[in-house]
A and B are shown apart, each in its own frame.
Chain A
């Protein structure tokens, strides 16, 4: 099956080499970081996690979102999704790889990363996050290999895979829950210490991940003979609409509790995000843009006529991804550190090196995604031709 990823048109290879160039640039940037330490990033004493951990958080959501196509197909027997479960799983695999890489590039001593397994620590949420993500990657590799292998041969998948697939559903929920627990269990960080963080993570994941899947479905249809189908894309759009509505609602809950209660420790962070604090307001335009975009996109999604137009839907899906990326991949992590425990405001901006390493990690993810989707498309085209 893997050989399908190694044959392709000229266009396919140009794309692969572009990705390799991006990965190469990221690799060189990472070597610089390895040489000079994390001082080449914008992170500092007060904002000690930045772009890497934020991207990790965002990508856990994308990985978990595969469940939104797996669940209707396997639990509700929604046949139309049979065509896209593999696309969901093949999106989850590179997403988890990106998560692992974002954690890895953030480490001060990356060569010691296996200490986490050597000295397993049940009271550390990071240990459980590593276990949850590793298990999820394994489940998705096994499930996609077995089900897709059977489909290719035109036979039914073996019976034992069904319980594995059922297990992958709560497991997907668990990876993002544990990721939220990384933050929400810290008594010193009032901004993250909110019980709604895990539900909010899940809602934003189930909005942004399926949005990405819509864009990928549209792309697959455009560049290949395999068509996931209009009905499938419309159903995913409905899922995105519900998830986005819940996400916006959860954000509103957060804002109400934080602002109405008016406890300084909680207010300070919202103040910094939306209005600036002590003359520092780097995040202000981003946060307003994200919230207004989220609201605008949600309102548009609520109109079936807008959703049904696939061109409009593509824009709305991109809007969902962008707004959640800003909210989760920029605001959530950084604003938790500002102001600091000693009430100082130190701002954070990623450096070029940090940006390149991030792009390199995404490059690796997209390369794996490309290979996997190439396999899926080639096999499907072959099946359609018969």
Chain B
């Protein structure tokens, strides 16, 4: 190889590496300057949910919620322990609220199981860490997933303080009991989670879990609505009921409230 061609290749190689490094950095910085901080006020719509722990105390109520979600969203039933996919499920009160219970807490509360799911945080850690913006916050507060963009790095799972995200360790298709043709199922190697039934909201319907809970346990077992609207059912209920949120000290500001 003669000297000038060698030099040309060197310069070309260096330029290519420089461009591969420089363009993403410059465009990322440009985006950082352009992007506006999350709105702190509640103007506009912000969906929220209230779970009444006492009204959802019966296991069949909670199971109905999870089942409604499962069949609607083609969530696989994976038998292998600790590889499950969960959008909404039951866990102990002490597990869901580790800093908010002690040995003197009302026994019926302390020993009960509660529904847990994605909290659709106002300041979501998962969105902050995702390297591809595959998970993002919609203007109405829903934390969404683009499973086609997700690279499966699971950084969002490490970041979520609520354990609300599931990774498809294997192909979910063979584990879906009955396929709902109106909703896509996911592929192996991506993260998924509760979408607050965005597809139902678009049709003017409440989330499936809310519908199931209220059908079985009576109205008010779960309340859904817009926090931005002072007259919505959630806003009204929050004014009169004592509610708590999960891990409030972290500053994530969840959209899911619990009536104790």
**What is the interface of chain A, defined by CB distance below 8 A to chain B?**
36-39, 43-46, 48-49, 103, 106-110, 112-113, 115-127, 130-131, 134-135, 138, 142, 182-183, 185-189, 264-265, 336-337, 340-344, 346
A188 touches B159 (CB 8 A): yes
State whether A117 and B20 are in contact (beta carbons under 8 Å apart), knowing that A109-B189, A124-B129, A124-B155 are contacts in the complex.
Answer: yes
Selected interface stretch from B53-61, B161-169, B193-201: B161-169
Q: Which residues of B contact A123 (CB under 8 A)?
A: 32, 128-129
B158 touches A48 (CB 8 A): yes
From A108, A122, A187, A264, B151 is in contact (CB under 8 Å) with: A108
Nearest residue in B to A108 (C-beta to C-beta)? B152
A108 touches B91 (CB 8 A): no
In this complex, the member of A188, A189, A337 whose beta carbon has the largest number of chain B beta carbons within 10 angstroms is: A188
B95 touches A342 (CB 8 A): yes
B151 touches A115 (CB 8 A): yes
B189 touches A38 (CB 8 A): yes
Instruction: Report, as a range, how many residues of chain B touch the other chain.
Output: 35 or more
- Other A-B contacts than A116-B24, A134-B21, A188-B162, 18 sampled, CB-CB below 8 A, are A39-B170, A44-B82, A46-B82, A48-B158, A108-B168, A108-B191, A110-B151, A110-B152, A112-B151, A113-B151, A121-B28, A124-B130, A138-B17, A186-B158, A188-B160, A188-B250, A189-B158, A189-B161
Within B173-216, the residues touching A (CB, 8 Å) are 188-191
Q: Which residues of B contact A46 (CB under 8 A)?
A: 82, 163
A-B contact count (CB 8 A): 167
Q: Which residues of B contact A36 (CB under 8 A)?
A: 170
In this complex, the member of A122, A126, A185 whose beta carbon has the largest number of chain B beta carbons within 10 angstroms is: A122
In this complex, the member of A48, A118, A182, A343 whose beta carbon has the largest number of chain B beta carbons within 10 angstroms is: A48
Contact with A along B113-131 (1 / 0, CB 8 A): 0001000000001001111
B96 sits at the interface (CB 8 A) = yes
Contact with A along B76-117 (1 / 0, CB 8 A): 000011111000000100111011000000000000000010
B44 sits at the interface (CB 8 A) = no
Within B37-91, the residues touching A (CB, 8 Å) are 80-84, 91
A122 touches B32 (CB 8 A): yes
Cα–Cα, bound, A188→B163 (Å): 9
Could you write out 22 A-B pairs with CB less than 8 Å apart? A38-B170, A39-B169, A39-B170, A44-B82, A44-B83, A48-B158, A49-B154, A106-B153, A106-B154, A109-B151, A120-B24, A121-B130, A122-B29, A126-B129, A126-B131, A131-B21, A138-B21, A182-B155, A186-B159, A342-B95, A343-B94, A343-B98
Q: Which residues of B contact A265 (CB under 8 A)?
A: 98-99
State whether A127 and B131 are in contact (beta carbons under 8 Å apart), knowing that A39-B83, A134-B21 are contacts in the complex.
Answer: yes
Q: Which residues of B contact A115 (CB under 8 A)?
A: 131-132, 134, 149, 151
Nearest residue in A to B94 (C-beta to C-beta)? A343
B150 sits at the interface (CB 8 A) = yes
For residue A192, give the distance in angstroms from its CB to the closest CB of chain B.
Answer: 9
B243 sits at the interface (CB 8 A) = no
Cα–Cα, bound, A106→B152 (Å): 8
From A108, A182, A189, B167 is in contact (CB under 8 Å) with: A108
B153 touches A107 (CB 8 A): yes
Cα–Cα, bound, A145→B25 (Å): 25
Cα–Cα, bound, A315→B84 (Å): 45
A48 touches B24 (CB 8 A): no
Within B1-53, the residues touching A (CB, 8 Å) are 14, 17, 20-21, 23-25, 27-29, 31-32
The 8 A-B residue pairs whose C-beta atoms are closest, nearest first, are: A108-B152, A188-B161, A108-B189, A120-B28, A44-B82, A39-B170, A126-B131, A39-B169
B140 sits at the interface (CB 8 A) = no
B169 touches A38 (CB 8 A): yes
Nearest residue in B to A187 (C-beta to C-beta)? B250
In this complex, the member of A118, A187, A342 whose beta carbon has the largest number of chain B beta carbons within 10 angstroms is: A342
B82 touches A48 (CB 8 A): no
Q: Which residues of B contact A121 (CB under 8 A)?
A: 28, 31, 130-133
Cα–Cα, bound, A185→B250 (Å): 12
Nearest residue in B to A263 (C-beta to C-beta)? B99
Cα–Cα, bound, A337→B80 (Å): 19
A108 touches B149 (CB 8 A): no
For residue B132, give the distance in angstroms from its CB to the closest CB of chain A.
Answer: 4
From A37, A110, A124, A336, B168 is in contact (CB under 8 Å) with: A37
For residue B251, give the distance in angstroms from its CB to the closest CB of chain A.
Answer: 7
B128 touches A124 (CB 8 A): yes
For residue A45, give the distance in angstroms from its CB to the closest CB of chain B.
Answer: 5
State whether A125 and B151 are in contact (beta carbons under 8 Å apart), knowing that A39-B170, A131-B21, A188-B250 are contacts in the complex.
Answer: no
Q: Which residues of A contact B153 (CB under 8 A)?
A: 103, 106-108, 126
B91 touches A342 (CB 8 A): yes
